[in-house]
Structure 1
Amino acid sequence: MAGGRHRNTTGPHKGGARRAENSRIYAHPLPIIFHNPFPNGVRSLLGLLGLSLNEVVNPHCEGYLDVATKSVWITDPRSSKVLWKKGFFGKGDLSRSEPSWLARQINDRKAGRTGLTSEQLREKRRAERKQFKLDRAQAIAATAAEAEAIFETEGRIIVPALSGPDIPSGATWKPPPAFEASRSVVELPLQMGQEDDDYIEDIEHLQLTLCEAFFLAWNLDCLTIIDPHADEPLTLEQLWTTFQHINLAPPIPNSPPLRLQLDNPFLVHYAAYHHYRSLGWVVKNGLKFCVDYLLYKRGPVFTHAEFAVVVCPVYEDPADQENSTVNLQNASAFAWSWLGTVNRVNSQVMKTLILSYVTIPSRSRVSSDIMTSPACFSKYSVREVVVRRFIPARMRD
């Protein structure tokens, strides 16, 4: 996931080659590709006649359902690459976003032969800053003790200095030799005839949320989800009921099976996810910024997220909320302090906060038979409220 956005002050041509390369790699917003094998002249003629002979290229991917983490695991590297590069679906379980653990390991192994890797340099700088603070604190304490001793023996009052030749500063401090020796890195040589890439096993997998997995399986039909216990693919009907039961409390032994409800957390969050995905946004998890979703125009590799979304369930019939066995997050009125905190966090990272109100249809209006299929999503509605932080010094006009 991306951090706060920084203003570009280096001109429009900064990083142009990198942007062009990203535009080539991530040219397709979804795994489904419409390809026309005919030359431009034939395509223009067919367009004038109102005809289209596009071929639909739909890659097939497989994943395993993991109930414990409420996610779907894509273990095939090819499928992981397809889903990430064509829509930015999922997250690497050993990476911040893109599943790049293997590439990082290979690069770090190569960098280790000539110097420190990026992670080692970061840890080295952190250790140096910590040691600098300790040395500075000890020097200040020694100066204060010397001033106290002069006052006791000579009666003179000396104000302890916070700077000077005896107090280390960021410009004059250097790590002591003992510190450098303790932080040295020893690189183990490779065996004869063994290459870096040969013995590094890719142990990372792509992790899809339930909303992402259902969107790929139901709307795009490019993902097959396998039950890890039976090792058999789950049908759409089984996915529909399983994903809802995963988000409910575990059933009590010898109790009747839990019935499907309109206020199931999976249904509420998927309604918001499907709403923004259908409008062309790249939707990613927003837990880092205390929200449910982050909205990207094209994807994390191009720009930072512009909008942060908090899903707020709203019951069409208040009686349904009183009789519900599900405790939906943000369904009740939240405190102004909470709203101010979330808004301030996202304002600091240049994101606009959006409260996405998902209206849950009334049980009296909707038949229980509609809960057996995704057709019930037609009864949900989504409306947004933009929250902006008021800054008097900047908004006088």
Structure 2
Amino acid sequence: MQLGVKSEAVRHTTTPRGPSIHQLYALPVPIRTYPLPTFYPSNPLSLFHVLYTWLAQVVFPPVSEPSTVYQGVWSPETRSVHIREAESIRALWEQGFFGKGAFSRSEPNWFKREQARRGKRADHVAEEFTNKRREERKLMKWDRARKEQEAIERTKQQEAWVAPVGPLELLSLPNSLPNASALVNGALTPANTSGISSAGEAGFVPFPLLNGDTSRPQTPVNDLSATFSNPLSEDPQECVKRRKSVRFCPSVQSATFLLSDPPSPAPGLLPNGEVHDYAAANGNPLLSGPSDAALAALVSGQTSSKDSSEIATTDIVDKEHLQLMPEEAFYLVFALGALSVRDPGSQTLLTVQGLLKLFRQNSYFPPRMTGLQPDDPFLIHYVVYHHFRSLGWVVRPGIKFGVDWLLYNRGPVFSHAEFALIVMPAYTDPGWQGRQPPQRAWHWLHSINRVQATALKTLVLIYVDIPPPFGEELDVSTIVKRYKIREFIVKRWLSNRNRD
């Protein structure tokens, strides 16, 4: 075999993969556009390419967009629009990252996770690897805390050893001379030195008796390991102050903990639904961690044959639906025309004006049927959402980081969010004279900015200029055009980085 040439047996076989994420998430919105190619003045041939594409679209016009209008139902309980068809759910997520799975953190993949958990799917989902890493990290922290606790206990035992100070205690040491007993006025002879050793082994060595006084204190020597090694062997009355009893409810048995115990990992569920019994497996409920069998089952996700056979026989029903926020649903209805929303009671389609009024009413808690104003929470947040969506950003809710919106360059599957937005109304119009925006404390802004800096995001304050009051007879386009947006980036000033 020549160097640099790999045989067929050495080559690694790779499993077939699906389409790449760049192909799955190629469309930024659920509509398709057909732009003309770019014309370059320095290249005259590009003009023929533009003319050919234009003539092809005139002779054979493409399908009008949106080609598919998805169906949704308004949910007054959750104040969101629900999408229940599986194809519509995947389409809205893959074409713009709209909505959130009801049983998922973000991407609606509960059905895939359930199939992988029951062994009906060969590939895995990202949440499984994330949960596996979290469990491994949790067990590693627990093992580190256990080792630290054991080191503290050993240090306590070493520090609790009392140095011998009495003559008889000094004579009991292994380096004592056999005839050193003559130094104690003949009170001790070499013949009875063995009794001292036996007394020391028993746990206590008495001080030398003076004038027949037998009430002298006794000094512990070497029996400290029995005191610290097994806390369960102590007298319960002596351990009352060191224990803490917690009773959660009258029907649950009270749990007793030692204050010196290391933190134990949270009782997670095995894939078969059983709870780990660490105490029964290792014998010591105080300083016992998960056994090797439980750890292996926890990390690898193995299940018993009986439970796996029972799970495999049951059919899996996809119960997850997609939840669209009111701003996302209204953008799909008004800006793109790719969604229609039905009333849950009458099952009639809601018009754009009716949907705007419904969302404005439910932006208050409790819902406000009358007295709607231009500074309604829905209008302010939707204007910001529409503005950044029109600029090509992927806008997602930012409640996880304490802000209103998060801006992604292409989407959550490609990179983390770059900017965090906080929407603030501004009453700059003379018609709002005397109207003040909600006051924000300085420590609130500092806390939010600190969180974003820790998460490697840039905080942006979005001021929305509120227009004067208008009537409900105006169309949505005219209403949205009356709002103006101003953007201010907030950064922490550091003396060692901002010297210039």
Secondary structure (helix, strand or coil) at the match of 1:203 reads: coil
**Distance in 2 (alpha carbons) for counterparts of 1:133 and 1:337:** 35
CA distance in structure 2 between the aligned counterparts of 1:351 and 1:343, rounded to whole angstroms = 9
Question: What corresponds to 1:136 in structure 2?
Answer: 148
Alpha-carbon deviations, 1:266-294, whole Å to 9, x = none?
Answer: 00000100010111111001111111111
- Measured after TM superposition, the shift of residue 33 of structure 1 is 1.1
1:73 and 2:82 are equivalent in the alignment: yes
Question: Which residue in the other structure is 1:268 paired with?
Answer: 380
Please, what TM-score do these two structures have when normalized by structure 1?
0.75
Alpha-carbon offset, residue 221 of structure 1: 1.0
How far apart are residue 126 of structure 1 and its match?
A: 1.7
**Greater mean alpha carbon deviation, residues 101-110 or residues 132-141:** 132-141
Q: CA deviation at 1:22?
A: 1.3
Partner of 2:237: none
Would the aligned equivalents of 1:215 and 1:274 in 2 still touch at CA under 8 Å? yes
Q: Is the 8 A contact 2:118 2:308 kept in 1?
A: no
- On the 8 A contact 1:32/1:56 being kept in 2, the answer is no
Q: Offset at 1:61? A: 0.8
What is residue 62 of structure 2 aligned with on the other side? Answer: 54
Q: Do the aligned residues in 2 keep the contact of 1:297 with 1:305 (CA within 8 Å)?
A: yes
Shift of 1:186: 3.8
Aligned-residue offset at 1:234: 1.6
Q: How far 1:19 moved relative to its partner?
A: 12
Which residue is equivalent to 2:72?
A: 63
The one-character-per-residue Cα deviations of 1:243-286 (angstroms, maximum 9, x if unpaired) are 1111124369xxxx513211110000001000101111110011
Q: How far apart are 1:23 and its partner, in Å?
A: 1.2
Residues 289-317 of structure 1: per-residue CA shift (max 9 Å, x gap) = 11111111111111111111111111134
Counterpart residue identity of residue 492, structure 2? R
After superposing the two structures, state which structure 1 stretch, 308-317 or 24-33, moved more.
Answer: 308-317
TM-fit CA distance, 1:149: 3.8
Q: Match for 2:480 among 342, 361, 377?
A: 377
Aligned partner of 1:204 among 307, 310, 320 = 320
Instruction: Pick the aligned partner of 2:467 from 356, 361, 375.
Output: 361
Correspondences of 1:327-342 after superposition (within 5 Å): 331-342=437-448
Amino acid in structure 2 at the alignment position of 1:347: A
The answer to whether the Cα contact below 8 Å between 1:34 and 1:54 also exists between their aligned partners in 2 is: no
CA distance in 1, matches of 2:50, 2:17: 32
Query: Compared with structure 1, are the counterparts of its residues 33 and 249 closer, same or farther at alpha carbon in structure 2 (3 Å cutoff)?
Result: same
Alpha-carbon shift at residue 340 of structure 1 (Å): 1.6
Which residue of the partner structure matches residue 344 of structure 1? Answer: 450
Instruction: Give the conservation status (yes or no) of the 8 Å contact 1:34–1:56.
Output: no
Per-residue deviation, 1:332: 2.4
2:114 is aligned, of 105, 108, 129, to 105
Aligned to 1:32: 31
Residues 1:281 and 1:321: Cα distance change in structure 2 (over 3 Å): farther
3-state DSSP of counterpart to 1:33 = coil
Q: How does 1:195-274 map to 2 (within 5 A)?
A: 199-250=315-366, 257-274=369-386
Cα deviation for residue 127 of structure 1 reads 4.0
Structure having the higher Rg: 2
SS of residue in 1 equivalent to 2:64: strand
Is contact 1:309–1:353 with CA below 8 Å preserved after alignment?
yes
Is contact 2:72-2:81 (8 Å) kept?
yes
Say whether the 8 Å CA contact 1:306–1:350 is kept in structure 2: yes
Instruction: Tell me the SS of whatever aligns to 1:238.
Output: helix
Aligned AA (1:231): Q
Q: CA–CA distance in 1 between the matches of 2:475 and 2:72?
A: 24
Q: Partner residue of 2:422?
A: 310
> 2: distance between equivalents of 1:389 and 1:19?
43
Aligned equivalents of 2:17 and 2:499: distance in 1? 40
Asked if structure 1 preserves the Cα contact closer than 8 Å seen for 2:112 and 2:121, the reply is no
1:87 shift after superposition: 0.7
**Alignment check: 8 A CA contact 1:291 1:309 kept:** yes
**3-state SS of 1:65 partner:** strand
Question: Partner of 1:393 in structure 2?
Answer: 496
Q: CA RMSD in A?
A: 3.6
Deviation of 1:88 (Å): 0.7
SS of the residue corresponding to residue 240 of structure 1 reads helix
Percent sequence identity over matched residues?
A: 37
What whole-Å deviation, never above 9, does each CA across 1:343-374 have from its counterpart, x for those lacking one?
A: 121112221111010111123xxx42455645
The residue matched to 2:134 in structure 1 has which SS? Answer: helix
Distance 1:70 1:369, change over 3 A: closer
CA distance in 2, matches of 1:361, 1:108: 53
Counterpart Cα distance in 2 of 1:135 and 1:319: 68
Distance 1:242 1:251, change over 3 A: closer
Structure 1 pair 370/149, CA: closer, same or farther in 2 (3 Å)? Answer: farther
Offset, 1:375: 2.4
Contact 2:374-2:467 within 8 A present in 1 as well:
yes
For residues 239 and 353 of structure 1, do their structure 2 counterparts lie closer, same or farther at Cα, with a shift above 3 Å needed?
same
- Residue 230 of structure 1 deviates from its aligned partner by 1.9
- TM-score, with length taken from structure 2: 0.60
Task: Write the distance in 1 (CA, Å) between the matches of 2:89 and 2:454.
Answer: 33
Shift of 1:336: 2.1
Deviation readout 1:29-78 (Å, 9 max, x if unpaired)? 11011369xxxx99754446696533334221111111222211111110
Shift of residue 342 of structure 1? 1.2
Q: Is the 8 A contact 1:359 1:382 kept in 2?
A: yes
Q: Find out whether 1:278 has 2:390 as its counterpart.
A: yes
Q: Secondary structure at the match of 2:74?
A: strand
Q: Distance in 2 between matches of 1:391 and 1:147?
A: 46
CA change 1:153–1:223 in 2 (3 A) is: same
Opposite residue 497 of structure 2, the aligned amino acid is: R
How far residue 79 of structure 1 moved from its aligned partner, in angstroms, is 0.4
Determine if contact 1:277/1:283 at 8 Å carries over to the other structure: yes
